[in-house]
Amino acid sequence: ITAYSAGVRYSPPLPRAHWQPFGQMLVGVAHSEGSLIHAQLGGGIYGASAFAASIGGGLDLRIRRHFSVRPIQAEYLATTFNNNSNNHQNILKMDAGVVFRFGGE
């Protein structure tokens, strides 16, 4: 599944803190190909798109002004592909990584 989404992110103002929590809410479109769609339609190569929504948050450790380490980000992603049952898929995502910020604060 590939999701394309946009939305809002909130980070409380903590000017001197090294740890920066954030929360976000996104909506958009998910696209899937392969066994999920293949099983629904039978044979051939198919693709389908569906509504997607995501809510989650995380924590950044500020190392420098434009560089942070993200030890954790957790998101719940819900999609609405037709699955001949309840048409909902629930996905929990856990991420970690590095953050590069460009421009102003």
Query: What's 20-61 look like in SS3?
Result: EEEEEEEEEEEEEECHHHHHHHCCCCCEEEEEEEEEEEEEEE
pLDDT at 15: 83
The tens digit of pLDDT for each residue in 53-104 reads 999 999 999 999 899 999 999 999 999 887 777 888 899 999 999 999 888 6
Classify 90 as helix, strand or coil. Answer: strand
**Cβ contact 78:88 at 8 Å:** yes
Written as six digits, the tokens of 98 are 């590095």
Residue 70: which H helix or E strand, with range? strand 67-79
pLDDT at 88: 86
The tens digit of pLDDT for each residue in 6-55 reads 999 999 999 889 999 999 999 999 988 766 555 555 555 567 889 999 99
CB atoms within 10 A of CB 80: 15
